[in-house]
Every structure is written in structure tokens, then in C-alpha cells.
Amino acid sequence: MNKERKLIIAGNWKMNKTVAEAVALVHALKLEVANVREVDIVVCPPFTALADVSKAVQDSNIRLGAQNMSEHNYGAYTGEICAGMLKEFYTRYVILGHSERRQYQKEPDALIAKKAAAAHASAIKPIVCVGETLAERESNQMEKVLEAQVRGSLAGLTTEQMVETVIAYEPVWAIGTGKTATTQQAQDAHAFIRKQVAKMFDETVARRVRIQYGGSVKAANARELMSQPDVDGALVGGAALEVRSFADIIKNSI
């Protein structure tokens, strides 16, 4: 395990949990992971639960994240949430460019780059997602796709901002399918992404950037994945919706 970079494990709750359910989950999670200091723990509830979850994680080792935000500041953007609104709830992280938003909302890399810049402008750390589909992997397009997404989604960031950015590699074919990339497949993709960051910035920045794996992470495979030299954590979907499974992933990562 790379001791140079602190592990970061974030739970992406997606469109799940009422406010009451969200608060109950966090209160239970706090008890389970109270003594964990080796991992940055993040929960990303729906917007409706941010205020209450923010209060629930106060004075704990759990940080609050959001699942998306606008590239704009306040203004006439119906249905959008801006960084200033997230800051009101002490939101520390925001997931950007998740594969579901790339697929369903057709979000392009250039938009994700604008959102990342807007997040940094408000001192919110973006978790920028990249990853290939099954068709792209099977047609040997993985590296081409990852290079384009990394370069496009991180374009315009300063060196200081890049160091404070988290990249999440999510092989789209392994999300919610029960399929998991082999440990070697995950490591190879992470190493390739880090190489692209080095080309965009430099080796020092690339060594400091944390790259999470996000594809059907479970307690059973967490330790093996996190032991890879370029895997610095996990972006957890379904397993983050249940206290025991999420806590076990965190504990098994150390």
C-alpha cells in the first residue's frame, strides 16, 4: 500500500435514502468507524439530505460530499445547485462526471472541467470520474478513452488544484453489474491515469494525486485492491447504502 497518499473511501448514495434514513445510516456509521484515522471517509447523500447529514457528521471523522454541482454560480439556472450552496453545509467533496451523468445527462469532458474549476474556487475538492464502457474495453479503446477523459475533464486546473483533486476510475462495465475488474486490471488503469496526470503536470503532482477505484467494491476485495501501488481508495456505490458493508470496506482497506 502506498503510504505517500492517504486512502480515501467515499460512499455515493446516488438517488437513495430519505432524510431520516440518511441520518440513521450516518449515526450508525459513526460508531463503526470512530477509530479509523488511516482513511479519509466521505459520504455523498442526495441534495435533500445534505443539511441533516452535515449536522450528523459534525465532530466525527466522516466528511460530507455532494453528488454533483453546477459550473455556474448563483443565478437563473432552474434546478441547479451551485458551490456556494454546498459550502453552506460544510461540503468538502463533490462527485463530478460520474458515468451515469455522462451517460444520461450527456455531460462532456469540457463541462466537467468547468465544474471542477468552480468547485476549487469554493474550496470544495472534486472527485472527477473517468472510465470506459464494456464496448470500449473490448475494442481496445480503454487507453484512448481514459486519456481523452483525463485530459478533457482536468483541463485548466492549476498544479495546486490538481493536487487537491481526486480521480475516480470507474470501469462502467463493472458498476452495479457485480462484475469487478481484476486487481491487475484496476492497477493497470490507475497507473495509466497517473501517467496522464504526469504528462499534463509533472511527476511530483502525479505522485500526490489520489486515484480511487469505483467498480463493485466489496469488503471481500477491498484489501487486495487497496494494496495495489496506484489504487488510493474507493468510490463505493451500492455497498455504501448499508452500514455494515461500507464499514467493512473501510476497515478492510487499512
Catalytic sites, residue numbers:
98, 170
Q: For residue 173, give every residue at least 6 positions away whose Cβ sits within 8 Å of its Cβ, in sequence order, or none.
A: 132, 133, 134, 137, 179, 215
For residue 189, the one-letter residue type is: A
Residue 136 neighbours by CB distance under 10 Å: 18
Q: Cα-flanking dihedrals φ and ψ of residue 132, to 5°?
A: -105, 155
In 3D space, the residue among 50, 38, 39 whose CA is nearest the CA of residue 13 turns out to be 50
